Amino acid sequence: MQAEPRELERRTENLERRVDRIETVLPTLATRKDLKATEQSLRTEITDAEQRLRTEVTDAEQRLRTEITDTEQRLRTEITDTEQSLRTEITEVEQRLRTHFDVVSEGMRHEVRIVAEAVATLAERGR
């Protein structure tokens, strides 16, 4: 079966249009070399970004460790100061209680002496 010349001409024109479209698109497609270069460039960017992030994390870690150490030192100082203040206050309260106890005790001795003298007096009268 032979194709008619007109059919052959139509097919040839279609083929030429398709080849023209292919020739238009083909130069814009990336080659393996282009893809390898892009891959290498991306790998380099990733490596650089990873290194920057590692440095940032290390710096942040160091800053946090320093802040933790400073905070710990401030808290230890506050605890020591508070402990000393409480010890001083306890000593002062203890001293005031001793003084108060001594005064009350002396007053009771005096009253016991008076009661003892009264009992002695009554005992002598009763004899």
Report pTM.
0.51
The string of pLDDT tens digits covering residues 97-126 is: 999 999 999 999 999 999 999 888 988 887
Sign of CA dihedral 40, 44, 49, 50: positive
User: What gap in Å lies between CA 108 and CA 92, rounded to an integer?
Assistant: 24
Average pLDDT, the chain: 93
Delimit the domains of the chain by residue range.
39-125
- Are 24 and 16 in contact by the 8 Å Cβ rule? The answer is no
For 1-58, the DSSP string reads -PPPHHHHHHHHHHHHHHHHHHHHHGGGSPPHHHHHHHHHHHHHHHHHHHHHHHHHHH
The string of pLDDT tens digits covering residues 11-49 is: 999 999 999 898 888 888 888 999 999 999 999 999 999
Picking from 96, 116, 118, the residue whose alpha carbon sits closest to that of residue 108 is: 116
The string of pLDDT tens digits covering residues 83-98 is: 999 999 999 999 999 9
